[in-house]
């Protein structure tokens, strides 16, 4: 047990001598880091052993949160904070002549996600540990050898570089080879009779081993609040490999088999909000699904002896449709391996599954060609066909003659398998991730399902870990808050409301301003050291960080800055502002990469023009990820959340900014609307089209972007400046201009341009009155509590995972 500095030093030195091969004096920072992680991991392991016993004794429900992405961020300092040991460790190490901050730099961030979806899953792991009394939640994912690429900016353009995050081993994960699962691909299915029952035998398949690597997660200051993320890596079945390579001498074939197997956990698809239609992706999805479902069954039988009451004690949650094949996979195990009837198996399956939809963008909705699917997963395909057949039969008899309904909800149609339809039909609950998004699901893409099963539909607005993104990432503010209202807000974020009592406390408000300034200095220093651009921490920090995507409209922001540049050249004065961008574009998404180059070109012009750079500067941050986010979100004055209404299902970046006291400049979309509702008009800059207007204008013929272009001279000017030499580069921006004009601006950049610029000006003027600004900043922090992922997880427990269903 570590209670103080001395006991820590003893434990650290013990661990060091056990796990390192060098004496402390001769070892490098990585070895010192490795020993510290080993110590923390050992402690966490013993907490876990206790927690799992309690979990079994109390017969608590187990929730399997299946996600193709988990963007967990760095663990060392965060775990120590949750254990309340950070100061003890820092001081103890200092006594041993070790600099704790230098050890922190040794850690690699696990890049196992693209953006919001993966980060949400990580926040939910955090909150599932914290809220474990309502049920134990675990993450199940894939241990990609190469996660998301590292982004370099070369000559203003994105260059993708592989990130070998496992090169030194990832110390937080513990392999659990005894819990591996065999996953079967391809082959053929033979039927036979077993008495009077038809059985299905999967033959000539290619086996792949799914080997788990577990990472423990902690809740706050309570060692019973602990769970794990189980990440699977794909490995060949060794016996087969040896037989092939040595007995038959078919070495090349064996090597090819190994390569094919390992490919499954080799790369994370770098697409964000875009479906990856490749066989390997489907393999990954089934690999995760079969490993997770197989593990849950094996574990359950180990604890309870049979599958009795499985649906009472187990829940599976699928994070978007990517793990939707786990629905037919559970059916397969229950029927083919456990000998249940279809009806028994279906009763269990629809009671354990729930599904979160994350997008209505058509290009992100998964559909698999039947031929590809059937060849890869022959038995699973048969089961999906049967689910579909029975579903259509049932609906057909309940709504006779309603062909439209069948057509709109069938799983298999036009030679494709619709994974969203499979997910809705196979789940007891379907939820959207913000109020407006859930409404759109019911009225729009799942309208037909809503008509027949309205009770399935829920909304659970996303949340973020305020422990990571405020308490951990923003120490100056966290300390100030705790001094003012005590520490309970760290467990219960709605306590932040109590801060409103300090709005007239001069001393407090001055400290609030100081905390923000410190965070801005930290970011300015980071930018100067990495990118050599000097920015002024007293300027307004206007920040736009997130994946690059048409619907997120970084282009709208860039055009606004060009317009501002023009105006300042003509004598306009404003509150000095630093525009900060960051985010990765999918490697195949050329238009998004063009926008990165555009932002950097604008930055070149602005930052090198003495006439304007007292007023504005522009920075594009390289390689935005969780660790950088932890520096960026706390430093923001303005949070740019300007997606085309209806397109951003929720957004979570908006919430991280809010917890850190930024004021949102937001379109009428996703969680923006709920943030606006929480703080009111005075403390939020809302602008632009509504979702309903966007959907109405999207109907052919209702919108003509040329009208906006020709009726707004300021807008026409910046659009022309894209291609008239203004940007002083040989890079060709015609494609961006064509998108806005000849392709009719499908994200309504031109339509929202004026409302957006006007809203921005309002905020910029407000910044001149620092007292007023700070009031709004405080208001945002105080009202952010409902956007904690603790609240979201409580709602998942109450509304979905623990909902009483039939006991099967």
Q: Within 530-569, which residues bind ligand PLP (CB under 6 A)?
A: 546-547
Q: Do the strands 638-641 and 416-418 form a parallel or antiparallel pair, or are they unpaired?
A: unpaired
Contact yes or no for 625/408 (Cβ under 8 A): no
HSE-up (13 A, CA, CB side) for residue 109: 22
CA–CA distance, 796 with 802 (Å, rounded to integer): 8
Pick from 550, 634, 651, 661 the residue near ligand PLP by CB under 6 A. 651
Q: Does 653 bind ligand PLP (CB under 6 A)?
A: yes
Which range in 61-69, 261-269, 604-612, 649-657 contacts ligand PLP by CB under 6 A?
A: 649-657
Cβ closer to ligand PLP: 433 or 480?
A: 433
Of 437, 656, 783, 791, the active-site residue reads 656
In DSSP terms, which residues pair with 66 in a beta bridge?
A: 140, 318
Q: How far is the CB of 191 from ligand PLP (least distance, A)?
A: 47
CA 445, distance to chain mean position in Å, is 22
Helix (H) / strand (E) element for 422: namely helix 419-425
| Of residues 16 and 624, the one with the C-beta less far from ligand PLP | 624
Nearer to ligand PLP, 78 or 801 (CB): 78
* Total interface residues for ligand PLP by CB under 6 A: 12
The rounded distance, in Å, linking the Cα atoms of 805 and 808 is 9
The single residue of 230, 467, 546, 553 carrying the catalytic annotation is: 546
Least distance (Å) between residue 641 CB and ligand PLP = 7
652 is catalytic: yes
Query: Residue 429 or residue 672: which is nearer to ligand PLP going by CB?
Result: 672
Minimum distance, C-beta of residue 780 to ligand PLP, in the bound complex (Å):
16
Confirm whether 547 is a catalytic residue: yes
Q: Does 116 bind ligand PLP (CB under 6 A)?
A: yes
Tell me which residue of 137, 53, 40 sits closest to 83, measured CA to CA: 40
Q: For the window 39-78, what string marks contact with ligand PLP as x by the rule CB under 6 A?
A: ----------------------------------------
The yes or no reply on residue 119 touching ligand PLP (CB under 6 A) is yes
176 is catalytic: no
Work out the angle at residue 760's Cα, subtended by the Cα atoms of residues 573 and 506, and round it to the nearest 5 degrees.
Answer: 85
- One DSSP character per residue, 471-487 reads IIT-HHHHHHHHHHH-S
Show Cβ contacts of residue 258 under 8 Å, excluding neighbours closer than 6 positions.
Answer: 236, 241
Is 408 annotated in the active site?
no
Q: Residue with the closest Cβ to ligand PLP?
A: 653
Residues 6+ apart with CB under 8 A from 161: 149, 150, 151, 152
Q: Which residues contact 711 (CB under 8 A, 6 or more apart)?
A: none
Show the CA angle centred on residue 674, arms to residues 672 and 679, nearest 5°: 95
Phi-psi region of 593 (alpha: psi -120 to 50; beta: other; left: phi over 0): alpha
- 330, containing H or E segment: helix 326-332
Q: Give the Cβ contact number of residue 305 at 10 Å.
A: 8
Q: Does 672 bind ligand PLP (CB under 6 A)?
A: no
> Interaction with ligand PLP in 174-233: which residues (CB under 6 A)?
none
CA distance 432 to 800: 13
> Which residues have a Cβ under 8 Å from the Cβ of 576 and sit 6 or more positions away?
536, 538, 539, 540, 614, 615, 616
Nearer to ligand PLP, 547 or 766 (CB): 547
Q: How far is CA 155 from CA 172, 535, 803, in A?
A: 36, 20, 55
Comparing CB distances to ligand PLP, the nearer of 547 and 593 is 547
* For ligand PLP, the closer CB: 115 or 236: 115
Closest to ligand PLP by CB, 603 vs 675, is 675
Rounded to a whole number of angstroms, the minimum distance from the CB of residue 471 to ligand PLP is 16
* 629 lies in the binding site for ligand PLP (CB under 6 A): yes
Q: Is position 115 an interface residue for ligand PLP (rule: CB under 6 A)?
A: yes
Site map (CB under 6 A) of ligand PLP, residues 597-626, x = contact:
----------------------------xx
> Considering 428, 552, 597, 668, which one is annotated as catalytic?
552
Cα separation of 349 and 390, whole Å?
Answer: 15
- Establish how many alpha carbons lie within 13 A of residue 562's alpha carbon, considering only the half-sphere containing its beta carbon: 24
When the beta carbons of 615 and 787 are compared against ligand PLP, the nearer one is 787
Strands 367-369 and 416-418: antiparallel
Q: Distance between CA 437 and CA 501 in Å, rounded?
A: 34
Closest distance of CB 514 from ligand PLP, Å: 25
Q: Which one is catalytic: 652, 751, 757, 766?
A: 652
Nearer to ligand PLP, 114 or 613 (CB): 114
Annotation marks residue 560 as catalytic: no
8 Å CB contact between 380 and 189: no
C-alpha closest to that of 544 among 535, 532, 553: 553
Using the rule CB under 6 A, give the single segment among 50-58, 186-194, 612-620, 647-655 that binds ligand PLP.
Answer: 647-655
Binding residues vs ligand PLP (CB under 6 A): 115-116, 119, 546-547, 625-626, 629, 651-653, 656
Catalytic residues: 358, 546-547, 552, 652, 656
């Amino acid at each position: 047990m570590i209670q103080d500095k001395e006991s820590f030093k003893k434990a650290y030195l013990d661990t060091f001598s056990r796990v390192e091969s060098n004496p402390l004096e001769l070892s490098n920072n990585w070895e010192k880091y490795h020993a510290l992680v080993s110590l923390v991991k050992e402690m966490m392991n013993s907490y876990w052993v206790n927690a799992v016993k309690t979990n079994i004794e109390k017969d608590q429900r187990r929730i399997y949160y299946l996600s193709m992405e988990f963007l967990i961020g760095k663990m060392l300092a965060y775990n120590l904070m949750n254990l309340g040991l950070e100061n003890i460790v820092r001081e103890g190490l200092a006594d041993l002549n070790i600099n704790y901050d230098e050890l922190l730099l040794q850690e690699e961030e696990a890049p196992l996600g693209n953006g919001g979806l993966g980060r949400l899953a990580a926040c939910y792991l955090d909150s599932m540990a914290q809220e474990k009394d309502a049920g134990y939640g675990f993450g199940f994912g894939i241990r990609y050898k190469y996660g998301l690429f590292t982004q370099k900016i070369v000559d203003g353009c994105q260059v993708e570089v592989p990130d070998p995050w496992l090169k030194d081993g990832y110390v937080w994960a513990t392999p659990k080879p005894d819990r591996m699962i065999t996953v079967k691909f391809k082959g053929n299915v033979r039927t036979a009779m077993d008495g009077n029952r038809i059985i299905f035998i999967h033959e000539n398949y290619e086996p792949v081993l799914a080997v788990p690597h577990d990472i423990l997660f902690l809740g706050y200051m309570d060692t019973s609040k602990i769970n794990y993320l189980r990440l699977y890596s794909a490995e060949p079945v060794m016996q087969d490999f040896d037989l092939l390579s040595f007995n038959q001498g078919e070495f090349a074939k064996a090597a090819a088999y190994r390569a094919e197997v390992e490919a499954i956990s080799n790369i994370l698809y770098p697409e964000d909000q875009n479906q990856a239609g490749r066989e390997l992706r489907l393999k990954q999805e089934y690999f995760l699904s079969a490993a997770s479902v197989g593990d849950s069954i094996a574990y359950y039988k180990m604890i309870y002896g049979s599958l009795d009451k499985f649906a009472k004690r187990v829940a599976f949650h699928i994070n978007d449709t990517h793990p939707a094949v786990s629905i037919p996979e559970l059916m397969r195990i229950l029927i083919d391996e456990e000998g249940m009837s279809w009806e028994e198996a279906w009763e269990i399956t629809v009671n354990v599954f729930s599904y979160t939809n994350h997008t209505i963008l058509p290009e992100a909705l998964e559909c698999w060609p039947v031929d590809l699917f059937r060849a890869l997963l022959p038995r699973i395909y048969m089961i999906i066909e049967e689910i579909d057949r029975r579903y259509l039969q049932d609906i057909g008899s309940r709504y006779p003659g309603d062909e439209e309904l069948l057509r709109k909800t069938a799983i298999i149609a036009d030679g494709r398998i619709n994974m969203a339809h499979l997910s809705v039909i196979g789940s007891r609950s379907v939820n959207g991730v913000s109020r407006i998004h859930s409404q759109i699901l019911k009225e729009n893409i799942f309208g037909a399902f809503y008509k027949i099963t309205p009770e399935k539909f829920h909304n659970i607005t996303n949340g973020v870990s305020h422990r990571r993104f405020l308490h951990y990432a923003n120490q100056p503010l966290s300390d100030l808050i705790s001094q003012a209202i005590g520490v309970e807000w760290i467990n219960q974020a709605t306590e932040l409301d109590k801060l409103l009592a300090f709005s007239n406390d001069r001393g407090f408000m001055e400290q609030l301003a100081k905390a923000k300034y410190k965070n801005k200095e930290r970011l300015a220093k980071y930018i100067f050291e990495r990118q050599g651009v000097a920015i002024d921490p007293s300027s307004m920090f206007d920040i736009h960080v997130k994946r690059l995507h048409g619907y997120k409209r970084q282009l709208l922001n860039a055009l606004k800055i060009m317009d501002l540049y023009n105006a300042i050249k003509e004598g306009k004065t404003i509150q000095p502002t630093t525009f900060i961008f960051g985010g990765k574009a999918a490697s195949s998404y050329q238009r998004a990469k063009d926008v990165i180059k555009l932002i950097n070109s604008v930055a070149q012009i602005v930052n090198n023009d003495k006439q304007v750079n007292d007023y504005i500067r522009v920075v594009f941050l390289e390689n935005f990820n969780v660790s950088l986010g932890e520096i960026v979100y706390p430093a923001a004055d303005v949070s740019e959340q300007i997606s085309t209404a209806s397109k951003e299902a929720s957004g979570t970046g908006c919430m991280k900014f809010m917890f850190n006291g930024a004021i949102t400049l937001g379109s009428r979309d996703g969680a923006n609307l709920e943030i606006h509702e929480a703080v009111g008009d005075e403390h939020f800059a809302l602008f632009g089209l509504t979702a309903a207007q966007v959907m109405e204008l999207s109907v052919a013929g209702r919108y003509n972007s040329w009208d906006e272009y020709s009726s707004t001279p300021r807008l026409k000017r910046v659009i022309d400046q894209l291609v008239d030499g203004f940007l002083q580069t040989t890079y060709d921006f015609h494609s961006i201009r064509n998108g806005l004009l000849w392709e009719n601006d499908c994200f309504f950049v031109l339509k929202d341009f004026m409302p957006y610029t006007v809203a921005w000006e309002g905020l910029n003027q407000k910044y001149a009155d620092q007292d007023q600004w700070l009031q709004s900043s405080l208001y945002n922090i105080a009202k952010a509590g409902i956007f904690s992922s603790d609240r979201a997880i409580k709602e998942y427990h109450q509304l979905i995972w623990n909902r009483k269903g039939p006991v099967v």
